[in-house]
Structure formats: C-alpha cells, structure tokens
Copies of this chain bind each other. A is one copy, B any other.
Amino acid sequence: MTNENKLTLAGLAKLASVSTSTASRALNDNPLIKKETRERLQALAKEHNFSLNRAASRLRTKKTNVIAVILNLTDSTDQSISDPFLLKVVGDLNQVLNKNGYELLLSNSLMASEDWANYFISSSRADGIIVIGQGKSTSNIEQVAASGAPLVVWGDPNASSSYAVVGSNNELGSYLAAKHLIEGQCKNILFLGDPEHAEMNERHKGYRRALIEHNLNTSSELTLSCDITSKAAYDTISSVILDKGLFFDGIVATSDMVALGALKALKERYIGIPNDVSIVGFDDIAMAELFHPSLTTIKQNTKLASQVMVEQLIKQLEGQKATSVVIDVELITRRSSRSN
C-alpha cells in the first residue's frame, strides 16, 4: 500500500476508463452522471481505498467544510478547560456538525493567534467559527464579527451585539432559582459567582429581580464574587462563614461547579442541606444528580443549543443573516433545596 504512488482521481479515472471530470462528478454523487457510472466509480474507489484529496478540493472550491470551535477560556488554564459543562457543549457540537457534514477543529483562546478571523478563515483552515463563552472581554470576538466571517457565539443572547449569540435565558434561570428558594422559605439568599462576566451578570439580575419582587434583602453583602470554579466557591464560602457566621439560608450559584464547591464547604461544617441552607446550581451537568444531596439546578439545554448554533452558522455560510437566539431553561428540582 505504501510502495506504489498514491492513487489520485486521475488514476482512478483511468482505471475506470472515464475522464477525471466524470470521476470527480461520480464520486461527488452528481446527478449529471448516469447512476450506473456513479455506482461503478464509487465501488471502484472503495475497492482501491481511494479518497478524494481534501486539500486539493478545498483549494479549488474555496470551501473547507470545517468549523473552528474556540473554547474562550477566561484565564486560569486548568480549571476552566475541564469544566464539564463546556466540554459537554463541545461534544454536542461535534455531533451536530458531523451530522451536517462539517468537521470540528478544536481550539482554545490560550492558543490561537489573536486574530481569529485571519488565522482560521483567511487561511482557509475553516469556513466558520463558533466561540464558546464570551469571557470577560469580547474584543477578540468583535474583531471576527467585523471581518465578516461566519460566526456564532455561545454566551449571553440578550446583550446587544454585532454578532449572533446563542445562549440560555440566564436572567430567567436565576430568577427561577431564587424564586424557588424563596418559595422554600429562604430569607437571606446569597448569589455566588462572578457578576463581571456577561452571562453571570444576567444571572445576577434575575436573582435580584426575584428578591425584590418578594421584598427580600438584596444588600450587597449577599452577593459574593468568586471565580467560576468549585475550588474558588469552596474557598469563598469557607472564609465568609469564618468571618461572618451563617448569615444566609439559600444560595443561588452561577454554575453547578460553583454550587458543588459551596456544598462541600457547608457539609464540612455540618450545615444541613437543604434545611439550614438550600442551594440551586446552574447548568445541570451529568453529575448534578449524583451528589448527596442531589443538586437542584437550572438546566441548560446544550443539545438544542448546539443545534441552534450550527443552524445559525450554516445560515451565514449560505449568505443569510443570522440572529441571536435565546434557549429556554428549566428548573430541575432535586434534594439540595426544600420543595414547595
């Protein structure tokens, strides 16, 4: 197999005694070619383990059928790249892209050059870009948008932006979370997360809306800013309890990882969950129900979201305009919060 020269389309055509044009069309299942001929060539290709050279066809057609997916990590290398939620999205995107005939080129913001449009699109490495996460700064993303490259971002769809953003209804999600805690008789509800981050800021708004609606304390000492990792959440909760004691009876966390970090800190102090403190997470990662108590959370529908992202991207690839789309969230009630 490695001794002779690799078979090319021209070679295959010769074997079949047709022209390369015909061979090309046949392998691409072009209906211009007689069905019989098509099938004959496809069989021959299979027999000889022949595959069209993508580099060549990409050069000629100026289409790669590749989508670059960029994990837009905030800063801390290790923590966020292993966030199960982000990786779940990558997995789902992979499925959907493949189903639509695209391949997934994986990157992350720590690696790729600064100028994404240039690096991926102009260089014809990919036809379009999906960015997962807006992070704290969106300048990279705006640059891509300005270049006119097909682009979809997973993030906060309510932010007015020059590009299509697909994301959960974050405000509503945390509103539902807070409301659920209030209905469970929580009076002093903490918000745990990083309000500087676009999506998290929306979640903070929803949390405040619920509290205000129910005339609860929204004092700023109830908003605890911390990184979106379980470690940071654990540390934050641990130290705040040490400082001020247990001055809260509910937590609205900005992610499941954050919720789980908080949960651990509380349990270590023998604080009862959900009776002393109720907790609601955000994401509904696979592990949420494995914990004890299982985690009440706001489910983000990553499967649907991936579908929508790919749809919106394909629209742009076809020259249409894409729009931002809000994905519904859902409260999943489990045992880390009091029901009713």
Binding site for B on A (CB under 8 A): 1-2, 6, 49-56, 58-59, 64, 66, 69, 77, 81-82, 84, 87-88, 90-91, 94-95, 98-99, 103-108, 110-111, 115, 118-119, 122-125, 147-148, 230, 234, 260-261, 263-264, 267, 286-287, 290-292
B55 touches A122 (CB 8 A): no
CB distance from A49 to the nearest CB of B (A): 5
Expressed in whole angstroms, the Cα–Cα distance for A230 and B290 within the complex equals 8
Asked if A51 and B88 make an inter-chain contact with CB atoms under 8 angstroms apart, the answer reads no
How long is the Cα–Cα vector from A111 to B263 in the complex, in angstroms?
38
Q: Is there an interface contact between B111 and A107, defined as CB atoms closer than 8 Å?
A: no
- Chain B residues contacting A69 (CB-CB under 8 Å) are 106
What residues on B are CB-neighbors of A77 within 8 Å?
95
Closest 4 CB pairs of A and B: A87-B87, A55-B58, A51-B123, A98-B111
Contact A50 B103 (CB under 8 A): no
Most-contacted residue by chain B among A55, A59, A77, A148 (CB, 10 A): A55
Instruction: Decide: B148 and A125 in contact? CB cutoff 8 A.
Output: no
* Known contacts A56-B59, A287-B260, A106 near B94 by CB under 8 Å: yes
Further pairs besides A50-B122, A87-B88: 15, Cβ < 8 Å: A49-B115, A49-B122, A51-B118, A51-B119, A51-B122, A51-B123, A55-B58, A55-B124, A82-B84, A82-B88, A82-B91, A99-B111, A103-B105, A103-B106, A234-B290
